[in-house]
Amino acid sequence: MPLRQRIYRRGSRKGLRAGIWAGAGWCLFLLMAGCGPQAPEHTLVTAEAVTVRLSLKKVADGNVHFYTYKYNDRNINFLVRTDGKGQLHAHFDACYACFKYKLGYCVEGPDILCIACGLKYNLAEEAWDFIGPCAPISLKSKVRKNYLIIKVSTLEKGARLF
């Protein structure tokens, strides 16, 4: 075999090996980024008796706030948002379709975006129309005095999503 062909063959094998290593590295990154055993961690909240209380001064500012409640070594993530009419809404940071990836949602401009499938919901809307099975799961909450109150038992029921 001529020298030129041998060099070409040897070079293509090195390229193939590099491609395999790059692919393995990418798979490892995806595994660590969201498909691992634990959901990401946001601002930690703790229970006071049987509820989690969030100050309205912190959450009723028109922004989206992400929180984590620790339960049985799991991160139970949820978010609190203000709609266009000034009403507060709480949701698990998961949906029934994409929860298994443990990626949750992020804010992208005026929308909230499912990181796993790319569906967006406008933050100003009072109620989100569900687009297929991907939509943030509502989390029952109440406004009492100067706090948004979420029962710990309600958060703990969502542990299977994380």
Q: How far apart are CA 34 and CA 9, in angstroms?
A: 38
**Who contacts 44 (Cβ-Cβ below 8 Å, separation ≥6)?**
67, 68, 69, 70
User: What pLDDT does residue 96 have?
Assistant: 85
Confidence label for 29 from pLDDT (cuts 50, 70 and 90): very low
pLDDT, average across residues 148-162: 95
User: What pLDDT does residue 17 have?
Assistant: 59
Question: Of 53, 58, 56, 62, which is closest to residue 86 (Cα–Cα)?
Answer: 62
Helix (H) or strand (E) holding 153: helix 152-157
Least-confidence region, from 3-12, 66-75, 103-112, 149-158: 3-12
- Token readout for 18 is 């590099």
pLDDT beyond 80 at 77? yes
> In degrees to the nearest 10, what's the CA dihedral of 79, 82, 87, 92?
-20
> Which one of 35-39, 53-57, 97-101, 114-118 scores highest in mean pLDDT?
53-57
**Who contacts 40 (Cβ-Cβ below 8 Å, separation ≥6)?**
34, 68, 75, 77, 102, 104
Between these two residues, 43 and 128, which has the higher pLDDT value? 43
Q: How far apart are CA 103 and CA 5, in angstroms?
A: 47
- Token readout for 17 is 């090996």
Helix (H) or strand (E) holding 112: strand 111-114
Q: What is the pTM of this model?
A: 0.73
φ, ψ dihedrals at 145, nearest 5°: 55, -120
% of the chain exceeding 90 in pLDDT: 52
> Which one of 112-121, 128-137, 141-150 scores highest in mean pLDDT?
141-150
pLDDT, average across residues 70-94: 93
Confidence label for 50 from pLDDT (cuts 50, 70 and 90): very high
User: What pLDDT does residue 48 have?
Assistant: 92
Confidence label for 125 from pLDDT (cuts 50, 70 and 90): confident
